Amino acid sequence: MNGLWKIVLLGAVMAILLLFALGLKNDPREIPSPLVNRPANDFTAPALEGDQPVQLSAHRGKWVLVNFWGSWCVSCVAEHPYLIELAKQTKNRSDFVMLGVDFRDNPDSARTFLARHGNPGYPHAQDPTQKIAIDWGVYGAPESYLVDPKGTIRMKHTGPLFPGWFEQRALPLMQGEVK
Amino acid sequence: MRHFPPLLLLAWLLAMPGPALAELRGEDPTEAMVRHIAKDLRCAVCQNQSVYESNSDLAKDMLNVIRAKVAAGEQETAIRDYFFQRYGDYIYLEPTTQGMNTLLWSAPFIGLGIGGLALWLAMRQWRKRANENVKPVPTHAAMQERIQKELDQLRM
């Protein structure tokens, strides 16, 4: 074996190890959404409570957190206390609103869910046939999207939002620290 | 079960797929198109099942979306693209051969080519070395004499 072959072999081994190292950093559960940095698909749907339909584009000019959930979803129960806290915490902000999309659910079960686990107070759109959810590339619940004031999706969060999510993930985006 | 002979039960079971098959044969073109598209799309929440085969709620609703789009006269490519725009190329059961995937598809063939080339070069070298080894080595005179002696003995 001459020197050239040794270098080629070493290079190949290094390349494989590098690919492994890169692969280990990936979260296999996280499927990248092609919707990030693209205009959010607008929706108008009947609200879970009240007669006023829920429309995304009505909130243009504000950051909108769109949270997909359902009363059938176990992780949503775990996420719910934080949503209540976040709604309370951001109530006085003029640049941030929250919307829920209750998908693949029946409205009565969803209302019972809110009565049992607490009502965060922001509007929820009804999406019994998953039309909005599919239009937003949703796989399961809960999934959340952060839409910027121009109506562009800036972030997708798969799974329950965790305490501190707003400060750690949303605020840096909203303050323009993350491009 | 006593009043229901096993043979009759068997006949009934065999007759079961009948209507389903007839439905497939007489399938209307819209539904055939829906099936064609849905078979290539991955049910996002299942283990390697297509939207058409899966019984999950998401797959059923996706099927309805496809159905509505086909009924509205949308083209196949437009419908496939609709899902691609939302779910990325993960949605296709068979990976696409575009962009970075081209590299992925061709990698085995490139690897095979490099391997073949390396093997050819190595074999050439082996053969060269083997040819060098074949060169006659002068035998020692004493040894030559001994070999000759033993050969003579054999011929006796």
At A91-140, the pLDDT tens digits run 999 999 999 999 999 999 999 999 999 999 999 999 999 999 999 999 88
Q: Name every residue whose Cβ is closer than 8 Å to that of residue B155 and which is 6 or more positions away in sequence.
A: none
- Give the per-residue pLDDT at B19: 45
* CB-CB contact of B91 with B42 (8 Å): yes
Q: How far is B9 from chain A (nearest CA, A)?
A: 39
Q: Which amino acid, one-letter code, is at A174? A: M
Chain B contact present for A32, CB below 8 A: yes
d(CA B105, CA B27): 36
Closest CB to A35: pick one of B44, B62, B86.
B86
DSSP A144: E
Using a CB–CB cutoff of 8 Å, tell me whether B92 touches chain A: no
Q: Which residues of B touch A35 (CB under 8 A)?
A: 85-86
**DSSP character at residue A49:** S
User: Across the interface, do A32 and B88 touch by the CB < 8 Å criterion?
Assistant: yes
Please, which residues bridge with residue A145 across strands?
Answer: A66, A156
**To the nearest 10°, the Cα dihedral for B60, B63, B64, B67?**
-160
Which of A73, A62, A57, A90 is CA-nearest to residue A130?
A73
Global pTM value: 0.73
pLDDT of B88 higher than 90: no
Tokens 């999706």 locate to A153
Of A99, A35, A101, residue with least CA distance to A62:
A99
- The contacts of residue A115 (CB under 8 Å, 6+ apart) are none
The whole-angstrom separation of Cα B85 and Cα B101 is 17
Q: What is the pLDDT of residues B12-50, one digit of tens each?
A: 655 555 445 445 567 788 889 999 999 999 987 888 899
The CA–CA distances, whole Å, from A144 to A57, A138, B147, B156 equal 17, 9, 91, 100
Phi, psi of A176 (to 5 degrees): 75, 15
**Residues of chain A whose pLDDT is less than 70?**
1, 28-31, 179
The one-letter amino acid code at A33 reads S
